[in-house]
Amino acid sequence: MAWDQDVMRSRFCHALSEMYKSEVSLYGDLIDIVWEADAKAVQHSQNMSDSQIINPDDVLPSRHRVERHGAIRVGTAHELATIRRMFAVMGMYPVGYYDLSLAGFPMHATAFRPKTQESLDKNPFRVFTTVLRMELLTEKTRELAKQALKQRNIFTPRLLALLDTAERERSLTPEQCTEFISNSLETFRWHSKATVTLDEYEQLKAEHPLIADIVSFPSSHINHLTPRTIDIDLVQKLMLDHGMPAKERIEGPPRRTCPILLRQTSFKALEEIVHFRDPSGSHVKGSHTARFGEVEQRGYALTRQGRQLYDQILDQVNKKAADGGLRGQDYDKLLEDQFREFPDNLSKLHDLSLAYFSYQLTPLGEQFIKENTVSLKDHQAPVSLQDLLAKGIIGYEPLTYEDFLPLSAGGIFYSNLGSVSQSKQLIMSADPDLDGFQRLLGACVADEFHLYSEMQQKSLDICRQKLQLDKIAF
Ligand code: OOG
Ligand code: NI
């Protein structure tokens, strides 16, 4: 590739964040709060006096300071496949399949994100991308949605030309790269003029508010951006202190010593003025509620077993909460209690294969290579990982979860979108449709567990080579 995909992604992420800040000023305030919370958390962990100001930029791993995710929703196969081509230029590829019908949404999704450790370290920006499942709409709404989607083009002609160039020539000039960034922003820009009439909008919305959000506008507006924090509980508190319309509670697992997966909270979507098309040619004023700001704290990536245990515990929590009508703090208390079942120390998570890890030689291990006269492989039995860990030659660190938790996203949807239509039952009984999704996408999605497992294996291979071993028994 004759352009740097990681640089393109960073530039795009920065430009998108600036655009969203200018569109939704509360998102800018949220960024400031995250900065404040991170500074306080760092200060606290270092036991500094309050007067000593720490700049999180100086202390946190650099990816924290730029880290964002965003979310968009598209309507057609052409839109989804073109988004895929656009993100590929920035080194973002479809990872994971998310079936949102479970939560009553007629949509399914993937996350476009970098796949290698190197790229993730440079800039982990990812975009959760949903597409409408036309087959889950009632006939009348489906026709309306198709009509509205048919007459829009969410990509500038220049972007489409640049995509062709990039794919054909495998190269873009610096000027073309700059044009690419500015043109790609247009796809995600907010437009307050709807492409449908108020009547049509109401009809779409009655079936599901998200159908209206996807179908009624000339672009695929970014519906939220999400900075990463190191202390989401503090951010939640600061949001409330600052009088932000914060959600009642943080979604995802409870606060733990060893954080897992993802915890998220947000400020509620704003009601924005929209001008709807009028059959007479003028415009009618109305409103739309969809765009918000979110914040996330990322924890460890779980293995399939780990994820199963997580899902199982969460299921119990939700059943008990529903039975007892528990909400807010009562729900949080129950969540915390039930999650005691999930081991909360690093070596247990490792030994029970509940999380993924990256292995590296310890300082002792490095010294061992330098000074060792008898190589490890002279031993009769194959060297086991356990052995190397016990001898302190190899150490490990948890891998960060780079993906999403659709159920907690569901919680976020609910708090933003009010009531849902009767067609919800129909949607909720639908099966996931990975094949259908991949047909719309025009490509396969990568399996996230596979990617983590590959990263883990790669780190172990590097240790093995350094130690000059043929094999490390797992
Ligand atoms: C999808 C939301 C998914 C998250 O943080 O889990 C997401 C959407 O709002 O379209 O961003
Ligand atoms: Ni999100």
Q: Tell me the pLDDT tens digit for each residue of 278-329.
A: 988 889 999 999 899 999 999 999 999 999 999 999 989 988 988 888 888 9
Sheet holding 107-113, edge to edge: 93-99, 107-113, 126-132, 68-74, 224-227, 292-298, 262-267
What was the pLDDT predicted at 19? Answer: 97
From 102, 268, 412, mutation site for ligand 1 pocket: most ligand atoms within 8 A of C-beta: 412
Which ligand has the minimum distance to the alpha carbon of residue 103?
1
Do 452 and 319 belong to one domain? no
Of 265, 271, 261, 273, nearest in space to 294 by CA: 265
> What is the value of pTM for the model shown?
0.94
Average pLDDT on 216-243 reads 96
Asked whether residue 361 falls in the same domain as residue 324, the answer is no
**288 close to ligand 1 (CB < 6 Angstrom):** no
Give the ligand at the shortest distance from the Cα of 98. Answer: 1
Could you say which ligand is closest to the alpha carbon of residue 405?
1
CA nearest ligand 1 atom 5, residue: 409
pLDDT in tens, 378-395: 555 678 999 999 999 999
C-alpha 225 to ligand 1 mean position (Å): 9
Using CB atoms within 10 Å of the CB of residue 238, give its burial: 0 to 12 exposed, 13 to 18 middle, 19+ buried. buried
Alpha helices of 67-151 — where are they, by DSSP H? 77-89, 117-122, 139-150
pLDDT digits (tens, 9 = 90+) for 340-361: 999 999 999 999 999 999 999 9
Residue 248: count other Cβ atoms within 10 Å of its Cβ.
Answer: 15
How far apart CA 263 and CA 233 sit, in angstroms, is 10
| Domain identity same for 176 and 276 | yes
In this predicted structure, which of 141-155, 303-317, 401-415 has the lowest mean pLDDT? 401-415
Task: Ligand 1, residue 100: give the atom nearest the CA.
Answer: 1
What's the pLDDT score for residue 463? 95
Take atom 6 of ligand 1 and give the residue whose Cα is closest. 409
- Domains held by the chain: number: 3
Q: Is the CB of 220 under 6 A from ligand 1?
A: no
**Same domain, residue pair 325 and 425:** no
Instruction: Tell whether 246 and 166 lie within a shared domain.
Output: yes
**Distance from residue 294's CA to the centre of ligand 1 (Å):** 9
CB distance 416 to 292 below 8 Å: yes
**Cα 248 to ligand 2 centre (Å):** 16
Q: How far, in Å, from the CA of 175 to the mean position of ligand 2?
A: 32
- Whether residue 469 lies inside any domain: the answer is yes
CB of 416 within 6 A of ligand 1: the answer is no
250 and 325 share one domain: no
Q: Could you tell me the distance, in angstroms and rounded to a whole number, from the CA of residue 380 to the centre of ligand 2?
A: 52
Residue of minimum CA distance from atom 4 in ligand 1? 409
Tell me the ligand closest to 415's alpha carbon.
1
Provide the residue range defining the domain that includes 372.
Answer: 357-398+446-474
Q: Which of 404, 408, 415 to mutate to test the pocket of ligand 1 (most atoms within 8 A of CB)?
A: 404
- The CA-to-CA distance between both ends of the chain, in Å, stands at 36
Q: Which of 29-38, 91-100, 313-322 has the lowest mean pLDDT?
A: 313-322
Q: Which residues contact 412 (CB under 8 A, 6 or more apart)?
A: 247, 251, 264, 266, 292, 294
Bridge partners of 251, per DSSP, are 264
Asked if residue 152 is part of any domain, the answer here is yes
Could you give the CA distance from residue 69 to residue 222 in angstroms, rounded to a whole number? Answer: 10
Evaluate if residue 235 carries a pLDDT over 80: yes
Q: Which range is least confidently modeled, 45-54, 211-220, 272-281?
A: 45-54
pLDDT reading at 406 higher than 80: no
Q: Under DSSP, is residue 420 helix (H, G, I), strand (E, B) or coil?
A: coil
Interior angle at CA 205, CA 204 and CA 211, nearest 5: 65
Point out the ligand 1 atom lying closest to the alpha carbon of residue 226: 5
Specify the ligand 1 atom closest to the Cα of 405.
6
Q: Are residues 314 and 203 in the same domain?
A: no
Closest approach atom of ligand 1 to CA 404:
6
> Would you say residue 349 lies in a domain?
no
Same domain (yes/no): 53, 131: yes
Nearest-CA residue for ligand 1 atom 2 is 409
Would the CB of 223 count as within 6 Å of ligand 1?
A: yes
* Residue positions counted in the chain: 474
Q: Are residues 157 and 51 in the same domain?
A: yes
Token digits of residue 16 = 């998108």
110-133 mean pLDDT: 97
**Is residue 348 in a domain?**
no
Which candidate, 42, 67, 60, 56, places its Cα nearest to that of 401? Answer: 67
Least confident of 107-121, 266-280, 357-371, 421-435: 421-435
- 93 and 125 housed in the same domain: yes
The predicted pLDDT at position 381 comes to 65
Ligand 1, residue 294: give the atom nearest the CA: 5
Contact 267, 244 (CB under 8 A): yes
How far apart are the C-alpha atoms of 354 and 356, rounded to whole Å?
Answer: 7
58 pLDDT band, cuts 50/70/90, is confident
For residue 129 and ligand 1, the question of a CB distance below 6 A is answered with no
259 in a domain, yes or no?
A: yes
Ligand 1 center to residue 372 CA distance, Å?
Answer: 52
227 in the same domain as 313: no
Question: Ion ligand 2 — residues with CB under 5 Å?
Answer: 226, 294
Over residues 80-93, the mean pLDDT reads 98
Tell me: do 98 and 230 sit in the same domain: yes
**Residue nearest atom 7 in ligand 1 by C-alpha distance:** 409
Cβ of 437 closer than 6 Å to ligand 1, yes or no, is: no
Q: Atom of ligand 1 at shortest distance to CA of 408?
A: 6
Whether residue 394 is contained in a domain is answered as yes
* Ligand 1 atom nearest to CA at 210: 10
Q: Is residue 331 part of a domain?
A: yes
The amino acid that residue 301 corresponds to is A
The CATH number that applies at residue 36 is 3.10.180.80
CA–CA separation, 350 vs 388, rounded Å? 14
Confirm whether 350 is domain-assigned. Answer: no
Grade residue 427 by pLDDT with cuts at 50, 70 and 90: confident
